[in-house]
Structure 1
């Protein structure tokens, strides 16, 4: 509200003659009718039956404005709270009905023009001076600004409240979709309708890494459910395999560390987020190499399988790589690397040499050592399969170990630290 004497126009209600109020009071009903007729004829939204609720609210607003204006001319200190509160309520109502303030603001301008015309006619009868007439015009515009500001404030409050409630519903919907065991489809459909989220055929869940520093959260399209307040910020993407959807998702998540789980039916969203979180955990540990960008769990399924039960694979490593346990760490690393390359290359020494960038004779020397250590185990297909599993897990940990010491990798090799070190595979 503009304070007395400090408005943009520099004049105040105190400068108006009190007798002007008495003259206006006797004409309020006809002025109200004139305003309403002009508003209805020029604004289609207000062209409603005179006995309808909308028209009743319009008449009530016009009459309140006119009576308050006259009362304030008679008493410049008259309390403006009732009329401004009324217009805040109108603003909230327009927001609740999904309308903008355009029609109301147009109605206020038309009403102001009618009021100004009637005031100038009355001023001529009362022989009001030009200066006083100018003051009347200024306070009338000031008054319109006050009411428009009150309506805009109510409108903004209602919009903010509605947005907050909608966000709460969408977060609750995300909770239901991620529930394990899953909730019934009826509960999902009901809350989805309340959250204005069309239930898709399929979804993919996304687990986001925490942004570094002051990085701003991305803006998501309205059909993506998002909750960035979770311990692991999470999303639901509807119909992720639809035409053009992959590009939209990649652009939306550009600059984030985001893991997209597998595409699943809506009822299985919990499974998608579980795989996305597991993949994110391996990314954050360095097992899967990435620091930013979009990562898809389905491209790393073999790694996820390897690390699904780390205690189990550690126990298998202790058993199958026991022949290396007595060697120095450097020897363990070289022989484990050679053995994995040999298993992956169809047991071809020359191909192993190319993979490892060493001389074939060096490879043959290491292979003789491995034959001495493992003996007939290297002839058994089942044991070779077990060896490849544990060596792949060891290689992933070794490749992405940051400090170079590779303690977990050596543990996977059945290193010299004994059983306690072997259990350290998953660290």
Structure 2
């Protein structure tokens, strides 16, 4: 007995979609749009899980016994058939789908995403992918047999959803027994300024001040060593908006943080932790964009955070002040980099030259050329010296980026 008529066509359509980056982009956007709690997580993590889900369903369809019925008729039974998803995938596909479901369930349970929100996202991704596949099938003038194959494919996604529910409930029960869920939920509510099920005093000591820490860790499977560092001075830790956070009365030693990026606020009262978290989150976004590492104070990140939060203003400044420079011209970029270094080193030629490893006369020459192309040499208005320099610094950074 040969393979059902519609299966080869569906397999071809699936491979076509998997090769198109727009498929994953659209599925991720649908998931984040339909499930706001999932949408608050780092996009790269949502993307990783969506890609894994799409791959495991496609693989289950491609390697099911129906896909190899012709070979089975000629060579005997397919090893492992009849034990998998839906209509029966092999043991390899069964293991892969279980692993994907368990990994996703673990991550979302640790991150505090409720099962309903997780399933909302799963359903949105499923509907998006299947709708695209149906559109492709119609464009290929599909037969009724082809739509039967699509129904079989959808059955695999339903079975994966069931595995996901079972895995999530198991993880949730495990975290509940350890008390982790309650502590992490209370921390999230505290840092997000939401009404808490328990008073803050049940989590932290009222008489102490606490630093809010955010670590550049988004993978729950790799969080344990960092959690130990963040709460080495006491306090509590957990995931908030997909990032590992803590409230601690004492900062960890910088050498223990090492090259990991960690943003720390000054110590504040418990009632001020929500404001501290928002400031730390803004500083983290700016620090990550600049590739910074180590333990960083939110106050040291004040200007970069403000600039990162308003990219359009930076582009306006660049368009206004650097319109005669061509970003594709390497010499123009060299001039801009020199001017930026000059501002960052207090407008001191000698210090700028040392930082750039060039002769001071080279710096002077580049600044003259830069001044000929811009208004960089024009003196500021009285009392405007500081803001004048900041505007130029912001324009240059925006232009170079």
Q: TM-score, normalised by structure 1?
A: 0.43
Q: TM-score, normalised by structure 2?
A: 0.45
Bigger radius of gyration: 1
